[in-house]
Amino acid sequence: MDQQTSSPVTPSGRWQPTPRHAPFVVAIIAIALVMVWLTSMGQNSVAAAMMIVDPRAFPWDVFSSLNGRLDALSATLASGQIWRLITPDFLHFSWTHIIFNSVILWFLGSQIEWIDGKGRLLALFLVTSLGSNGLQYLVSGPLFGGLSGVVYGILGYCWISQRRWPRFQFPPALVTFALVWMVIGFTPIPEMIGVGRMANEAHLGGFISGLALAVIMPLRRRAR
Catalytic positions, written as ranges: 148, 203
| Alpha helices (runs of H) in the chain, residue ranges in sequence order | 3-6, 23-38, 45-50, 66-78, 95-104, 110-115, 118-140, 148-164, 172-185, 189-192, 200-216
Among 145, 151, 111, 128, CA closest to 208: 128
Encode 167-201: b = buried (16+ Cβ within 10 Å), e = exposed: ebebeeeebeebbeebeebeeeebeeeeeeebbbb
Spatial separation of the C-alpha atoms in residues 142 and 51, rounded to whole Å: 6
Helix, strand or coil, per DSSP, at residue 74: helix
